[in-house]
Amino acid sequence: MNGDDDHYVEFRKLYPNLTEEEAIEAADNLDAYLETIIAIYEDLRNDSGRYQQFLALTDSISGGYTDPVNSSPT
């Protein structure tokens, strides 16, 4: 990570009182979190059984999940 990274720049705007080191660490943590979420989603998408379990779980919790990849426009 460097000071030119988009997340770093946004953290500096949102949290101007963070030190440079804190802003870099926060941006790095966000990048790592997003990479993890994407990896989990891709893993689920590649295993249809687990993906169906995911859809059933999210449906029961939130009242439904619309798959942005396979949903048809309304």
Say if 28 falls within a structural domain: yes
Say if 67 falls within a structural domain: no
pLDDT at 58 over 70: yes
Q: What is the domain range of residue 18?
A: 6-62
Rounded percentage of the chain residues whose pLDDT exceeds 70:
76
pLDDT at 32 over 90: yes
| pLDDT, average across residues 32-48 | 92
DSSP notation for 28-45: HHHHHHHHHHHHHHHHHH
Say if 70 falls within a structural domain: no
Look-up of token digits 């990570």: 1
> Of residues 14 and 66, which shows the higher confidence score?
14
Say if 68 falls within a structural domain: no
| Domain total in the chain | 1
What's the one-letter identity of residue 53? Q
User: What are 4's two structure tokens?
Assistant: 């030119």
3-state secondary structure of 21: helix
Radius of gyration (Cα) for the chain, nearest Å? 17
* Residues 40 and 51 sit within 8 Å (Cβ to Cβ): no
| pLDDT, average across residues 9-20 | 87
pLDDT at 8 over 80: no
Say if 71 falls within a structural domain: no
| pLDDT, average across residues 5-25 | 84
